[in-house]
A and B are shown apart, each in its own frame.
Chain A
Amino acid sequence: MRAHFSRTAFLEGVRDMSPMLLGIVPFGIVCGVGAIAAGASPIAALAMSMIMFSGAAQIVATQLLAADAPFAVIVLSCLVVSLRLLMYSAAMAPYLRRLDYRWRNLLSYVLTDQAFAGAIQRFRASDDLAANASYFLGTGVLLWSVWQVSTVVGIVAGQVIPASWQLEFVVPLCFIAVLVPLLRDRVSLLVFAVSAIAVVALDAMPLRLSMVCAGLLAIAAGVAADKSTGRFGHE
């Protein structure tokens, strides 16, 4: 384990990730607020951030819990939002192949949207595996710690701030900040439109299945559009 650790690179990872925290903190707070609103105890709300460690999955789980969706539907919906992690895992895998399994298991745990975005460039640019792994660990450890602290702030805020402030609206706002930059070509606009229309049209579906069904329909529409425009297989 130690053989692959470089303190300098770890601290560089921490330093480079710091500007990203501005987007993480409100999201973590929202996850804490949402968990309390869904009826979780403060300990369970924090365990959610430690064990799930995924803003999107936590939000989906808490919103569906609050809407009294069945257990299996909540798990299925969280599964679909977590599929994007497969993409990051596949992109990272070639760079981590020569690492010890303990390092690979540890780095897998801290693989998030932001840590991936921050670390992949470094892995592409440099061959120093020990330094790259430590850099990635630095970004991951910083994100993990800040995520837990913001969740605790949200847990406290969720119990103190009156419902009339409508703090739960911060959830869609956080996601709008994530969504808008994704809509940069025709196919992503189509995916957006299909998902938006389907989720409203399917709202009457039983068991709160509309979210996951609309998402799957929109993914299928995106794949079909890529195929018909000949973009399939190209980045």
Chain B
Amino acid sequence: MSRELTIWLLIFAVGAITYTARMSFIALFARREMPPLLAEALKHVPAAMVTAIVVPAVVFLPAGVLRLDFENPKLIAALVAGAVAWWTKSAVATIVAGMVVLWSLRYLMG
């Protein structure tokens, strides 16, 4: 299967998932209450999944090597960005701080 075809199939498959999830309780089972265990589990989805997306992008260097020391510029940039996110609650400030730290460290480390 060609890359482009795979991507188009993916767009429709995932599009169907996101739309179904959005209309689930609004249109499909509008008269039903959500089961309590499901409601409880859903509360944790954002923190669980966002962490699983962020951490590998920060701790693995391109070759797939785990680097948890301070010679990994992405790790330092992410920690600084995390602190900025905590203090400012601003997405733009977080991104700017993280990229500036990353570029500076790359420049300093050569």
Q: Which residues of A contact B (CB under 8 A)?
A: 22-23, 26-27, 38-41, 44, 47-48, 51-54, 56-57, 59-61, 63, 65, 71, 74-75, 78-90, 92-93, 96-97, 101, 104-105, 107-109, 111, 165-166, 169-183, 187-188, 191-192, 194-196, 198-200, 203, 210-212, 214-216, 218-220, 222-223, 226, 232-233
Contacts and interface: CB of A to CB of B under 8 A. Distances in A.
A93 B52 contact: no
Contacts of A63: 53, 57
16 contacts: A44-B11, A57-B14, A75-B14, A78-B17, A79-B17, A81-B45, A84-B45, A90-B34, A108-B23, A109-B23, A172-B54, A180-B82, A182-B47, A200-B66, A218-B52, A222-B47
B37 to A, nearest CB: 7
Interface of B: 3-4, 6-15, 17-19, 21-27, 30, 34, 36-60, 64, 66, 74, 77-78, 81-82, 85-86, 89-92, 94-95, 98-99, 102-103, 106
A223 B44 contact: yes
Given A86-B21, A175-B53, A188 B59 contact: no
A213 B57 CA distance: 16
